[in-house]
Structure 1
Amino acid sequence: MRHAFTLAAENRLPQSQSRDIGLPVRPLDLVARLGRWSAGRGPLYVLLAARLRRMIDDGELRPGDALPPDRTLAAALAVGRTTVVAAYDLLSQEGRIVRKQGSGTRVAPAAVPGGASMETSNPLFLHLLEPPDDVVLLTCASPNAMPKVVADAYAKVLSVQDGMGYYPAGHPALRRALAERYTRRGLPTSPEQILVTAGAQQALSLVARMLLTPGDRVLVEAPTYPGALEVFRESAAVLRSVPHTDADAFVRALQERPALAYLIPTHHNPTGDVLPALLRRRVAEAAVAAGVPVIDDEALADLGSGDLPPLAAFGRDDLLLTVGSLSKILWGGLRIGWVRAAEAVVARLARFKAVQDLGGEVFSQLAAAELVAGLEEHRERRVAELRERHDTLCAELTRLLPEWRFRPATGGQTVWVELPRGDGISFAQLALRHGVAVLPGGALDVTGGSTRCLRISFLATPEELTEAVRRLAAAWDAYGVPEPLAV
């Protein structure tokens, strides 16, 4: 997912570097490069958007390139104009193209020449791929150091010799440990109901691959975890969203029978909100009644007080799939996630996973099995540490940026902030130049809303958070209200 960040004039590409971008793309040339774009399954506009998205992501269409007008491209492709308009609108919502009256349709501009940038890539992933220098990163919400308990667990298992080492569904010891933990939480689970994955992100990708075909509708919250939106868009799904605070709207949307629904009921990303048990039951029962598979993302479930049951506690394991991870509670480098579902669903997912990697790395899984057994003690320490950092961030925001509006989070790792003016996209660009990276709200909202919002993580040390807010305040002092984003 790419976002069209509006830059101040002084940040645009130098003239010497811009001569080779912004070229018009001739309709017949584009048609030839599109290839057999319409050969897949699903609505034509979704297939066209998927092929154009891939061309933009792969660099075949460069930042600033002018795309043909919708009527012209429609005639060249022998499709209705509405097909091209809908495809362009979808890419515009993602921020991959910019549409402006009088200027036509262009591939979203890049902040720097020669590659992806914060303007043209999801900054959540960009800052992992290309970490900026001397910048306090408040974008990626994951622990920034390996805790000693993880190192100790690795040391304990490194001498283990374990057969061939291929376990497509996951090492039996870890599957057993995770099943026992769910059972202790009041959700009886067998090891055969657990598929171990390389983090929750791979779990989402596998489920999407199993359940989605191009053009399928996926129900999500707005805002929500941007990595999930990336996965669903990669599947060429059509995203339908409801406000994350409106459980009634979510239940009504389930009655429309989307192909899949995605929900973060425990310490919601990005707000930290928690869906009460009664509403969990309503959502679960509505999903079962409509026959809609639901992903219950519990990646952040351990990062707060209390322990509400997963949605699967209120319905069928074949429809209510639970995704979890150790990356947030322990360490991002411990690439351990999982899917809990019915045995038949897990067996099918395991076949998909076997094609990808034949199974995850064994020593990490053995270490994870050790860690899961003693996770509650570590969880208490981790939650106390996060609460201290959360309180530091909130206090500094209140002190230095009293205009900004936010609610303290009940759990999770991030605070959701609303700016009183301007937009999160252009401010995030300015903040980056002041040495702090934050995630603009538009990256998390498929409706195009949340444009005045920012997601700010509180995983850094109290000292780093204090410095980060100081830099944000300096950026805010320098921030003028920009022109509206072109859509």
Structure 2
Amino acid sequence: MRPIELSERLGRWSSGRGPLYVLLAARMRRLIDDGELPPGALLPPDRALAGALAVGRTTVVAAYELLRSEGRITRRQGSGTRVAGVPSGAAVEDAPVDPIFLDSLESHDDGVLLAICAAPEDPPPHVAEAYARIVPELGRITGDIGYYPYGVPVLREAVARRYAEYGVPTVPEQILVSNGGQQALSLLAHTLLSPGDQVLVEAPTYPGALEAFREGAAVLRGLPVGLEGFEAAVRERRPALAYVIPTYHNPTGSVLSPLARQRLARAAAAADVPLIEDEVPADLGFPGEPRLKPLAAYSDAVISVGSLSKSIWGGLRIGWVRGPAPLITRLARVRAVHDLGGNVPAQLAAAHLVTQLDDLSLAHDLETRHNHLHALLAEHLPTWHVPPVRGGQSLWARLPHGDGNSFAQSALRQGLAILPGAGLDVTGAADPYLRLHFRARPPDLTEAVTRLTTTWSTYRPPTTRVHPRPAIAI
């Protein structure tokens, strides 16, 4: 691609706050993710692009390096800088699997088993029952235009009571209702981050959070699961934000101990670093597993994010943020710009469902499906390392050789779409991993393992590393 052509596509990339290289990387990131810069596209050399943009060469080099660290581009001496996805000289049909979550959320009748999205496959009967209960409530509404940027009061009250039950005194003014947990993360990123800000994340972690932070042009720094080494990283990086999944971590299923929770929460408070606690998987424990206190029980520096998408149904787009009242007000202002408020009937129904979360009997079904998948993997793929978990929705499987991206590409040819680990880890250490969820019905889990086994029997790792395009998966 000629420098002047890329310059034209970039448009007014330098408008905004933050270092020029971060703004340039943010604009190029959007072009790559939107497909305007397709996989394999050759980008201009550093000096040529710098001349076309009238900036210093170091600005272009720094932007390229940021995109390279995210896996969006590759830089090789002799073959130039290319958009990741098609290795230099490779055929288009050998491009890696691109598990863009918009595709994986849709229903397909093409025979492909979608093992990317870990979510309930059906709404439980409680959803229809809750909607039936609110019909009279809707009939009694008068003098109400229906816009609630903070969320319907009755739902804010129900969520606040639930936090209080788990040892976190909360008032409704500390709750903002969102259209799912993903919107909650996006609102927080928009409110708390400026371009170039550093964010500490676990490696690996939920990829939807990574994309939300990247949309804010943040620089992501990975730490081991549980944010091990947090205090040293704060001293070195001076982050604007940190993000952790302490209970039934996505994707590893690990649970942070009470002592580790207390230490992390208090360290964040001492460093004055806002800490986002993702509690979306917290209700997915197996029978007999205790419900641990949220991190917010130990510090006011913790901002909690919750959702009904994993415990009830993804189609019920209800999430929330718990935080200091001034932050909730800021979030509501941002949220009002986007959609003025959420779906009132859905929030009224959710107010009933929140009070029933502990009685929905998810635990036994989750454990049964976990045990079914884990046993099949142990029997048919004994060389894989797949630790069992005690809650959550996924197994974190390590391949004995090869990498998750090329294996996922091979699995797709067998009619199985799976999520490679590389897109979940900003450090690049998860290349040999796959996230395998157990939310599907047992017959589908059995068929998935059959296709995994068939794929593994013929799989040969490529001689050239396959680079994924960053993607969101749930």
Relative to the length of structure 1, the TM-score reads: 0.89
Name the residue aligned to 1:471: 451
Deviates more, 1:47-56 or 1:335-344: 47-56
Gapped runs of 5+ residues in structure 2?
468-474
Contact 1:95 1:120 in 2 (8 A): no
Within 5 Å, give how 1:251-330 maps onto structure 2.
251-255=231-235, 256-304=237-285, 305-316=289-300, 319-330=301-312
- Tell me the CA shift for residue 186 of structure 1: 1.3
The match for 1:4 is: none
Say yes or no: does 1:406 pair with 2:386: yes
One-letter amino acid matched to 1:311 = L
User: Is the 2:45–2:80 contact (alpha carbons within 8 Å) kept by the matching residues of 1?
Assistant: yes
Aligned residue in 2 for 1:159: 136
What residue number does 1:349 align with? 331
Q: CA deviation at 1:78?
A: 3.7
Instruction: State the partner residue of 1:127.
Output: 104
List aligned pairs for 1:30-429, cutoff 5 A.
30-109=6-85, 119=96, 121-128=98-105, 131=108, 133-161=110-138, 162=141, 163-244=144-225, 247=228, 249-255=229-235, 256-304=237-285, 305-316=289-300, 319-378=301-360, 381-429=361-409
Residues of 2 paired with 1:101 and 1:396: CA distance?
Answer: 45
Q: Which amino acid aligns with 1:334?
A: L
Structure 2 CA distance, aligned partners of 1:417 and 1:58? 30
Distance 1:474 1:418 in 2: 17
Aligned mates of 1:245, 1:58 — CA distance in 2? 32
Letter in 2 for 1:448: G
In structure 1, what is the Cα distance between the partners aligned to 2:97 and 2:37?
A: 12
Could you list the runs of 5+ residues in structure 1 that have no partner in the other structure?
A: 1-24
Paired residue secondary structure (2:280): coil
Q: 1:42 to 1:485 in 2, by over 3 A?
A: same
4+ residue stretches of structure 1 with deviation over 6 A? none
CA distance in 2, matches of 1:415, 1:405: 10
Asked if 1 retains the 8 angstrom alpha-carbon contact of 2:97 and 2:405, the reply is no
Distance 1:315 1:359, change over 3 A: same
Aligned length: 454
Deviations 1:444-468 (Å, cap 9, x if unpaired)? 0011120000000000111111110
Q: Deviations over 1:294-331 (max 9, x none)?
A: 10000000101211111111111xx3100001110010
Q: Deviation digits for residues 115-145 of structure 1, max 9, x if unmatched?
A: 9x98485544431258472122211111011
Residues 452 and 124 (structure 1 numbering): CA distance in 2 closer, same or farther, change over 3 Å? farther
Which amino acid in the other structure matches residue 46 of structure 1?
V
Task: Return closer, same or farther for 1:246/1:210 CA change in 2, 3 Å cut-off.
Answer: closer
Partner deviation per Cα, 1:228-265 (whole Å, 9 max, x = no partner): 00001111000011111562x12322344311100101
Name the CA distance, whole Å, in 2 between partners of 1:375 and 1:29: 54
Paired AA for residue 170 in structure 1: G
CA deviation digits over 1:29-63, x for unaligned, max 9?
A: 22233233223222222111111112223333233
Q: Residues of 2 paired with 1:129 and 1:91: CA distance?
A: 29
The 10-residue stretch of structure 1 (161-170 or 221-230) with the greater mean CA deviation from structure 2 = 161-170
Aligned-residue offset at 1:74: 2.6
Task: Give deviations 1:257-286, integer Å, cap 9, x for gaps.
Answer: 311100101111100100011111111111
Contact 2:226 2:245 in 1 (8 A): no
The amino acid that maps onto 1:310 is P
Q: Distance in 1 between matches of 2:101 and 2:109?
A: 12
Partner Cα separation in structure 2 for residue 99 and residue 124 of structure 1: 27
1:27 aligned to 2:8?
A: no
Name the SS for the 2:14 alignment partner: helix
Tell me, yes or no, if the aligned pair for 1:353 and 1:359 is still in contact at 8 Å: yes
Percent of matched pairs sharing the same residue: 57
3-state DSSP of counterpart to 1:240: strand
Contact 2:408 2:420 in 1 (8 A): yes
Q: Distance in 2 between matches of 1:118 and 1:199?
A: 32
Kindly provide the amino acid, as one letter, of the partner of residue 65 in structure 1.
Answer: A
Pairwise CA RMSD of aligned residues?
2.0
AA in 2 matched with 1:321: I
Pair 1:196–1:296, CA change in 2 (3 A): same
Secondary structure, aligned partner of 2:137: coil
Change (3 A) 1:446 1:97: same
How far is 1:103 from its partner?
Answer: 1.9
How much has 1:440 moved relative to structure 2? Answer: 0.3
Q: How far does residue 84 in structure 1 lie from its aligned partner after superposition?
A: 2.0
Q: Distance in 2 between matches of 1:327 and 1:58?
A: 26
The amino acid of 1:387's aligned partner reads E
Q: Which amino acid aligns with 2:373?
A: L
For residues 199-245 of structure 1, what are the alpha-carbon distances to aligned partners after superposition, in whole Å with 9 as ceiling and x for unaligned?
00000000111100111111101000000000011110000111115
Check conservation: 1:110, 1:120, Cα contact below 8 A. Answer: no
